Structures are given as C-alpha cells and as structure tokens.
Structure 1
C-alpha cells in the first residue's frame, strides 16, 4: 500500500469519525432544543393560566399577556398605565416590576381592591371613634374643672381625696387616648413628609438627649460610636422619633447601672446601619418576628406596644429596613438600615 493510499485511508477514517461525532452532538443538541422547547411551552402555558395578571416586556414593548391580564386589561393596554398601576372596573391593581436579564421585564399585578377598601373603612372608623371619644371627654373635663373649686370647699377630706383620685384617673385616660390616636394613624395612613438632607449624627444625638433623663435616673451609660458627616434623605423629625423609640426601649429594659450601645457603620457605599444594643432580658427567639407588629407587648405595663411599629413604618417610608437579633451575652440588637446620600 502506497503512502498516498494510506494517507487517504486515514483521512477517510478521520472524516468518518468526525461525522459520527458531529451527528451525535447534533442529535444531542436537537434533543436539548426539543427539551427546551417543551419546557418553554409548559412555562408559557403555566404563565397563561396562572390566576394572577402577568405581562412580559422586551425592551419596553409588550410581547406576552396572560389570560388573567387579557380579561382585566384588554389586548392593548398602555404601558405607562401598567407601570403606575391600573384602576379597572372598580378594581385597583398594583404592579410589581421584576427585571429578567438585560432587555426583559416581568410585570406582576396584585389586586389591592379589598386591601384599599379595608384601609379606607379603617380610617373612617378611626376618625369616627376619635370624634366620638374626644367630644364627651372634653365635656367631662369641663365639668370636672368647674366642680373642682366647689368640691374643695364643701366635701370632707376623704371625699376630696376620692375626687382627686378620680380626676387623676381621668387625666391618665385623656393622655392615654391622645397618645393612642396620635400613634394609631400610623396603622392606616401613608406617611408623607418633605425629603431633605438629614445629618444622621444630629438625629441620633437629639434622640439620646430626650432619653437622657431616664438613663440618668437608672444610672445607665449610653455608649455611642457615630461618625460625622453621614447624610440621609428624609425627615429629621421622623427619624429622630424612630431612633428615640428604640433607644428609649433599650434604656427601659436594661438593668440599673448597665449600658446601651449605639454604633453606626457602613454596610456598603449606599447603605448605612444604626445598631442599638441593650443588655436587658432579651426576647424569646420565636417572638423576634413579632417585635415590630402593632400592639405587641412582651410584658404587661409596657405601654401600648406601638413604639417599634411606628419606628418600622418611619424607616420603611425612608426606604430602609429594621431587623432584630439576639447577641451572645444577652440583650437585643436592633439594626436599622438606611440609604445614605
């Protein structure tokens, strides 16, 4: 066999092996493409039939509308209306935008009609309750003030003491209701405020100033590490209130002669965290998710249980988040993450 024949033989053998290899790869590729096509079809059917309004966008153009969205929004809804949310046929929808890679987005819609109706009914009930309680309280207070001077002269000492106790109880009730109605608005109403540049250190120092009398009475040292020149976008008054609620709670639960620690540190170039630690009895782990819920109290005699809830609402209105953890050595750490500017 000549060298040329041998070369042709090996060339043909190579081409044969290459052909078989390419055939197998092509077959595998076709099988994979078929599987992807089947998955795509299943995914498309699932999206189409899912009982939630879903719309897919490619470069801000609608290319898929599922069955539920077609029923409620029609075949050619305006994209600007979709992103803002839609009111259709007396129903209200809120949109959630989910990025899917560089050029794709998914719009998922939530029917918030009932939630909004409950909110409106709740606000009306609060307004009615506030009015119905404030009016008789004001009348009763007026009568008490008019009677006070007469009773001081006409009643015996024991009766005057009883009147004073009744008056003190009434004043306590009045203060409690005022605090309740000023706090309870956070339950239903959206927090609105003018966004301005806020110095974080100044907010924390003001909150500490208002807590200081209680801390001094208990001999508690408030240790802080707060860098200067960290600025946020928001309301200094609301943020001070949010920090005050947490610091006051920390001082209340910390034993006499103890300490409360306040540290501010950068989570990233955009996020700053305020960590407030007390050395009190702590919280059962299963109760941590409930700490910022309205009216939740661990122990009796702790007020109305609205302080941490109000803090959470204020922080969330500023685009931040609040979380709780149980450190080694006891106590509780409250971490507040906020966007810096």
Structure 2
C-alpha cells in the first residue's frame, strides 16, 4: 500500500498526540486557519485551534477530549468559529490503544463552509423560483374558481368552458413544476430510477414534431433526418420523452429558422472505450448561446433568454441522460444557432441490470 501525504488531502487535517500537542498540520489546515505549519506544530490543540461554538463557548473545554468519557470515540461535524468569526466545519475522532483507555491521538478534520454556503444559496434560489412560478397559476386557479362559485348562473356555457380550460391548463403547469422538483431531488440524491424498455427513437422524435405542428407550428419549421441501421435502444421511454420534449421546446421557443433533428448510430470503438449507441442532435438557426455561457447551460436556473421558464429543464435533461450512462453536449450548430447532442449507449434490459 502507498502512504498518503496529508498535504494531498482536500480537507484540513490536524493530529494531536496523547499530550494534546499538534504533530500533524497539513496544507489545507494552513489555508483554512491562516496559521503557518511551523507555528502550529508542537502547540497545545486549544492554542492552535481556539475554536468556539456559535454561543461563544470554548469547544475544547466543552468537549474535553482527553478527560471526558472513556467510551467516546468521536465528535460529529458541526459549525464552529475561529478567531475573527471565521466559520469552519469541524469533526474529531478519538484514537485509543484500548477501547476504554486514554486518548493516544486526536484526529481533527476541518472543512471550509464555501460548499455549504453555495448549496444553501442554491436551495434558497430554488425555493424563490418555485414560489414565483407557483404564484401565477395558483392565483389564476383561485380567481376563476371563486368567480365560478360566486356567479355560476351569470355565465354562458362557452364562458364556463373557457374558464375551466384555463384552470385545467394552470393545474397542468403546477403539476409539471412539481414533477421537475421531484426530478431534481432524485438527481441530486442519486435516486433517479431508469426503467428500461425498448425505445424507438425515430418514432419518439416523430411524435414530438407532430405535437408541435398540432399546436400551430409550421411543418416546414422541422427537418428530421433518421440515419439507417440504428442499434436497438433500451431506455426509459418516459424520461427520453422528457429529454426530447425539453430540447425541442427550447429550439422552437428560443431559436429561429429551421429546427433540425438528427438520429444516428454511434459505432462501437473499443480502442477508445466508446460503446455502441444512439446519438440525437437538435439544432436551430437562431442567435445561439454565447460562448461565455456554454459552461453554464446545464446548471440550475440557467436561462437562455427572458422568455420565462424555471431554468431547471436542461439541468434535469443532463441528469436523465447521465442516469442512462450517456452524455450530452452543447455547441453551435451549422446554421449558427444552438446545437444539443446527446448519446445514449445501447443499454441492457431492466431484468438484466
């Protein structure tokens, strides 16, 4: 086994000996505490790391690692303060030669709070976005239902139908938003389930194009190219529909000119480790995506324009494609607009996974 250099660890590592004096103080600890390694080595733990909890209590006095319960083996991670009010996430492990013997080494892990703060900001933005997106349809639903209940007899059947159709459309909008939130939760927790079945990608693309035509788009707006010899594809048909629906909706809404959809086989190239699969490319002739934004397209809340939407769709698309073992990229299409291309490996039937 190769030894691990403490300086290679991403988190701060501080180790104190049986007397409570520091013997290891790695590079990450230096960065987090702003204390030089040479100054820390040999110092008592409470002097090198004068930690306080959020109530101002000295953490080492509170936890008493060397004189506390002999059965204690660790301290769970918690938010503590360094001098100057700098927040740090701290956990500790007590190493004993015997189960109830004295502490021979105290191993302390330090982590900055930047990642947690980014997560908190992202969650706060998600809550604000959801609240904003829910307010409009729910206000509409409440307004129309209250009006119908109070003045039912005053409206003609056609007026009632129009208001109920509006309520139905807004209820569908709320349902879609809730589905997006559930998808994000499953993607972030790694619990997105893929129920594989045979999928005819060419037929799926055809259904989505016909749906746009039925909703008023010109048939000339779409150009579909299906290559020959497509491999059999085992995937989740509902989730593939989500991916196709989102990419086509974006091309129609935010792009311009002809929307081109191409479905082509990906040949197996074992020397490069690439599996045989199916590639789907969706491109338009609009203004495209600015070069500086390419790296953020698949992040939460990215919006290509100010034409509404939650900014969650492409984040979900990427999660679905990757859950299938595939990959998705974005670039500039031949017509100058945005081009999205995702590749799905052939996959295996659900009963074999």
Under a length normalisation based on structure 2, what TM-score does the superposition of the two structures give? Answer: 0.51
Quote how far apart the aligned CAs of 1:246 are.
1.0
**Residue 309 of structure 1: CA displacement?**
2.3
Aligned pairs for 1:166-315 within 5 A: 174-190=171-187, 192=191, 195-200=194-199, 202-215=200-213, 217-218=217-218, 219-228=220-229, 230-255=231-256, 258-266=258-266, 268=269, 270-272=275-277, 273-315=279-321
Map 1:33-182 → 2, pairs under 5 A: 44=5, 46-47=7-8, 51=11, 89=76, 142-152=145-155, 174-182=171-179
Q: By how many angstroms is 1:323 displaced?
A: 0.9
In the alignment, is the contact (CA less than 8 A) between 1:277 and 1:331 conserved in 2? Answer: yes
Q: CA deviation at 1:238?
A: 0.7
Q: Looking at secondary structure, tell me which structure has more helix per residue.
A: 1
Are residues 306 and 211 of structure 1, via their aligned partners in 2, closer, same or farther at CA, if it must alter by over 3 Å? Answer: farther
Unmatched tracts of structure 1, length 5 or more: 1-39, 54-65, 69-86, 92-109, 154-160
Q: Secondary structure at the match of 2:5?
A: helix
Q: Give the Cα–Cα distance (whole angstroms) in 2 for the partners of residues 311 and 292 of structure 1.
A: 8
Length, aligned pairs only: 247
Q: For the Cα contact (< 8 Å) 1:292–1:309, is it kept in 2?
A: yes
Specify the SS of the correspondent of 2:288: coil
Distance 2:337 2:140 in 1: 41
In structure 2, the partner of 1:7 is: none
Bigger Rg over Cα: 1
Q: For the Cα contact (< 8 Å) 2:197–2:235, is it kept in 1?
A: yes
Which has the larger displacement, 294-303 or 328-337?
A: 294-303
Conserved in 1, the CA contact under 8 Å of 2:141 and 2:170?
Answer: no
User: Is the CA contact (8 Å cut-off) linking 1:254 and 1:260 kept in structure 2?
Assistant: no
How do residues 326-337 of structure 1 correspond to structure 2 at under 5 angstroms?
326-337=332-343
Aligned equivalents of 2:163, 2:246: Cα separation in 1: 30
TM-score, normalised by the number of residues in structure 1: 0.53
